[in-house]
Amino acid sequence: MAEHKTADVITSRENRWVKLFRAGLRGAGPSGDEAIAVEGPKLIEDALRHGIEAEALLVSETGERGLERVLRAASASETGIARSRVLRTTDKIFERLSGTESPQGVAALFRQPAWDFEDILGAKPPRGAGAGRLPHALVLVMAGVQDPGNVGTILRSAEAFGATGVVATRGTADPWSPKAVRASAGSALRLPLLRGMSVPVLLAQLRVSQIKVVAAGSAASNGSAPDGVKIEADLREPVAIFIGNEGVGLPGEIESAADFHFLIPMSETVESLNAGIAASILLHEAARQRKA
């Protein structure tokens, strides 16, 4: 990696790497097996340290100051970054492809982590972890959450409060979009995650795995709830907590399939909670119950 300073500088907006980075950093998330675009040295360094495989690194003059730490993290990882994939460009070109208002001059393309349903349930030890007792599943499901900022907040809270994994159903903003990755502070790359699942398939798999379905909602401060709906749930059990769309809430098929409806008490003067806040409250409650 010591020879990286000899690399040619990309000065054309038509360069294929510039086009790939622009599409990734300004897009709504990767399609198919496209790479995940990440901007900022801290996020990139963290992803490398957690074993996410980098396909290419793009650096402008401004980004040079943070490059050495990124390269050290790459050198310490299993895959590293080939010298031929450490690319340089001008600040002007970087600003035009960046997805942020104040570009830091460093961006990377990462291969998508390959997670499966067992990973989401915590049925395998986390990457890099030794053998030990596995936790009961604590899955957070985003069903139609459309704001990438909310998606990122939910992912960050999910990791903070010990969720075993996250599922983003069809119609949810892509957790690997640049905005969601930034809002998650990198949790989107570390936490076991499945994207684009259909609700019927997910519900069927949860049933087979004996995971209880918890529908999240809110209630007036007196704890009122629809007839026949329980407003509490034992979150120490293997559970999947469903958070719905910011405007219309959860689909009817999830409401009817739920084993429990966990309603968050709140003032009657407030119509609803932000999806990210609601998810954080429920995940904190799950963590509290499990510690107790």
Mean pLDDT in residue range 174-184: 97
Weakest mean pLDDT among 44-48, 237-241, 288-292: 288-292
What is the topology classification, in CATH, of domain 4-110? 60s Ribosomal Protein L30; Chain: A; (3.30.1330)
The CA-atom distances, in angstroms, between 15 and each of 20, 61, 103, 261 are 9, 18, 19, 52
State yes or no: pLDDT of 79 exceeds 90: no
Position 4 scores a pLDDT of 42
Q: How confident is the model at residue 282 (pLDDT cuts 50, 70, 90)?
A: very high
Count CB atoms within 10 A of the CB of residue 275. Answer: 26
Mean pLDDT in residue range 121-148: 76
Please list the helix, strand and coil fractions of the chain in percent, rounded to the nearest 5, in that order.
35, 20, 40
State yes or no: pLDDT of 271 exceeds 60: yes
- Enter the pTM of the model: 0.87
CATH architecture label of 117-291? 3-Layer(aba) Sandwich (3.40)
Q: How confident is the model at residue 262 (pLDDT cuts 50, 70, 90)?
A: confident
What residue segments make up the domains of the chain, in order of their start?
A: 4-110, 117-291
Q: Kindly state the tokens that stand for 47.
A: 């992803």
- Tell me: the pLDDT tens digits for 20-78? 999 999 999 999 999 999 999 999 999 999 999 999 999 999 999 889 899 999 988 88
Higher pLDDT pick, 270 / 227: 270
| Same fold: 4-110 with 117-291 | no
How many whole angstroms separate alpha carbon 120 and alpha carbon 135? 11
State yes or no: pLDDT of 227 exceeds 70: no
Mean pLDDT in residue range 85-99: 94
State which of 1-5, 62-66, 130-134 shows the largest mean pLDDT. Answer: 62-66
State yes or no: pLDDT of 224 exceeds 50: no
Position 140 scores a pLDDT of 98
Count CB atoms within 10 A of the CB of residue 251. Answer: 18
State yes or no: pLDDT of 231 exceeds 50: yes
Q: Kindly state the tokens that stand for 177.
A: 């979009």
Q: How confident is the model at residue 1 (pLDDT cuts 50, 70, 90)?
A: very low
Torsion of CA 290, 51, 48, 72, to 10 degrees: 120
Position 263 scores a pLDDT of 80
Helix (H) and strand (E) counts in the chain: 11, 11
Do residues 45 and 76 make contact, with C-beta atoms less than 8 angstroms apart?
A: no
Do residues 282 and 264 make contact, with C-beta atoms less than 8 angstroms apart?
A: yes
* Mean of all residue pLDDT scores within the chain: 87
Position 127 scores a pLDDT of 55
DSSP-assigned states of every residue in 144-202:
S---HHHHHHHHHHHHHTT-SEEEEETTSPPTTSHHHHHHTTTHHHHS-EEEEE-HHHH
Which amino acid, 39? E
Position 7 scores a pLDDT of 57
**140 CB-contact burial (10 Å; exposed 0-12 / middle 13-18 / buried 19+):** buried
Position 273 scores a pLDDT of 79
How many whole angstroms separate alpha carbon 235 and alpha carbon 178? 32
Position 285 scores a pLDDT of 93
Do residues 50 and 189 make contact, with C-beta atoms less than 8 angstroms apart?
A: yes
Using a pLDDT cut of 70, give the percent of the chain over it: 88
Position 126 scores a pLDDT of 54
Q: Kindly state the tokens that stand for 163.
A: 């969720």
Q: Phi and psi of 271, rounded to 5°?
A: -70, -45
